[in-house]
Amino acid sequence: MNPFEYSPALESTAIVEIAERYNLFIDGKFVTPKSGKYFPTINPANEKVLAKIADANATDVDLAVGAARAAYSKVWSKMPAAERGKYLFRIARILQERAREFAVLETLDNGKPIRESRDTDIPLAAAHFFYHAGWADKLQYAGVGIQPRPYGVVGQIIPWNFPMLMLAWKVAPALATGNTVVLKPAETTSLTALLFAEVCQQAELPNGVVNIVTGAGVTGADIVNHPGIDKIAFTGSTEVGKLIATSIAGTKKSATLELGGKAANIIFEDAAIDEAVEGIVNGIFFNQGHVCCAGSRLLIQENIHDEVIEKLKVRMAHIRLGNPLDKNTDIGAINSAAQLAKIRELVTAGGAEGAEQWSAPCEIPGEGFWFAPTIFTGVSQTHRIAREEIFGPVLSVLTFRTPQEAVEKANNTPYGLSAGVWSEKGSKILWTASRLRAGVIWANTFNKFDPASPFGGYKESGWGREGGRHGLTAYLKASN
């Protein structure tokens, strides 16, 4: 063995107890599904079944919405706001206390490296509850008039890339503003949401304020179409977002939609190149590239293209892919066989359309779903890999000559969620940022998140904002 090789540093799974079977969380209790059906959830790093999850049908959804409605009208909307805030503080503290348990469970069910679930997902989830706990009794400053009102019962549907963090992004503002919730996690990653249900019990949150129904897209559609839902908050694909927008058209339901992205990460010739290379790696390879705001289109000023690519390849050759529970791992497993197939299809299209592929030389484990970090150079704007969201560890590289051209190429996308700009000149960063049609723009960094900072997109990246004061307005109506 090479003396400079890493030794494995495996996180223990002893802290987590996984049941054989999970029921639905309705009205503060775990109840068997009326559907009588369960489906398996697997560990994508070894394809082994972790547990069976209840598959909720329309009757189950109806019971959950009924529980949420009763909790809203009898308890949650009547409670003084400061009291509501105390529950959020309590949940936030329990999440911190049980952080390691959540991190290990998230890594087992999702495939993401423990380093990320431990240092990013779970701390940020707790931070979202702390932040919104503080807002609960200050809603007159949210910008929706002096006596803003909640919507009532909110249906929340979340994806599999940041299961617990997306739950926090949804549940914390909804509860702080006085709404009650029916939430559906993604079918491949339900376990941390079900552990969160236990946290709700532990915090003695009144029954029915949070209800968790598990299942696939059909269950999601049952929530969207239920007449007792006042508002939908969805994070997921643009395709499903469009379906939801169509379903609720003509109803009284409102919606926030956080959808796909194809972010440009722009590197100007005067950028600090080594730092930019770190930002490129973080921008596209964080969470296996399963990130809607990933910096998946790299735009490099033409005269520094070769230097950046050379340094990027050296850096990528040191990325460690493998067991997500190993604390040395940078890239974990792809979340599902279906997602791996989607990544492979687009990568094949990239080659067929004439772009040049380079993949980091890493060993791929024998079982589980994996994809080596990959870049495509010589990409043109018409290529599918420059236009479609790959949602995997695959970067498309384009070049530009002038700042104007960088902006035009960056904006040449149906999406508009995020972007990055790298330059040592503040004036150039501001000039560029003010012309980019993207909801979040990072300067000399990438993928930084904070509960106080609103997040959301332009164009097909969605409707509305989450986080910060702007995010509160998605859950509040003016009194009159």
Residues in the site for ligand ADP, rule: CB under 6 A? 157-159, 184, 186-187, 216-217, 220-221, 224, 236-237, 240, 243-244
| 3-state secondary structure (DSSP) of residue 346 | helix
Min CB(390)–ligand ADP separation in Å: 11
SS (H, E, C) 130-184: HHHHHHCCCHHHCCCCCCCEECCEEEEECCCCCHHHHHHHHHHHHHHCCCEEEEE
Min CB(68)–ligand ADP separation in Å: 17
Min CB(237)–ligand ADP separation in Å: 3
Rg (CA), the chain: 22
- The residues near 70 (Cβ < 8 Å, ≥ 6 apart) are 27, 208
Element (H, E) at 459: none
Distance CA 111, CA 287 (A): 9
Do the beta carbons of residue 182 and residue 64 sit within 8 Å? yes
- The sign of the CA dihedral 224, 229, 231, 235 is negative
Structure tokens at 288: 């296996």
Min CB(324)–ligand ADP separation in Å: 19
Closer residue to ligand ADP, CB minimum distance, 98 or 226: 226
Min CB(206)–ligand ADP separation in Å: 26
Closer residue to ligand ADP, CB minimum distance, 237 or 453: 237
- With CA atoms as reference, report the closest residue to 59 among 41, 37, 76, 29: 37
Closer residue to ligand ADP, CB minimum distance, 144 or 284: 284
Q: Is 375 left (phi over 0), alpha (psi -120 to 50) or beta?
A: beta
Closer residue to ligand ADP, CB minimum distance, 243 or 433: 243
Distance CA 184, CA 177 (A): 20
- The sign of the CA dihedral 267, 269, 270, 273 is positive
Catalytic member of 200, 292, 293, 362: 292
Closer residue to ligand ADP, CB minimum distance, 54 or 203: 54
Catalytic member of 258, 389, 460, 466: 258
Closer residue to ligand ADP, CB minimum distance, 88 or 157: 157
Min CB(181)–ligand ADP separation in Å: 14
Q: Which amino acid is at 409?
A: K
Residue 199's φ and ψ, nearest 5 degrees, are -65, -40
Distance CA 257, CA 241 (A): 6
For residue 53, the number of C-alpha atoms closer than 13 Å in the C-beta half-sphere is 26
Distance CA 86, CA 206 (A): 12
Distance CA 362, CA 183 (A): 38
Closer residue to ligand ADP, CB minimum distance, 222 or 330: 222
Min CB(63)–ligand ADP separation in Å: 18
Closer residue to ligand ADP, CB minimum distance, 187 or 326: 187
Structure tokens at 33: 């599904």
Longest dimension (CA), the chain: 71
Active site residue 292: yes
> If you search the block for the tokens 């609103």, which residue do you land on?
454
| 3-state secondary structure (DSSP) of residue 400 | strand
Q: Which amino acid is at 280?
A: I
Min CB(345)–ligand ADP separation in Å: 14
Q: Which residue is nearest to ligand ADP (CB)?
A: 220
Q: Which residues are catalytic?
A: 258, 292
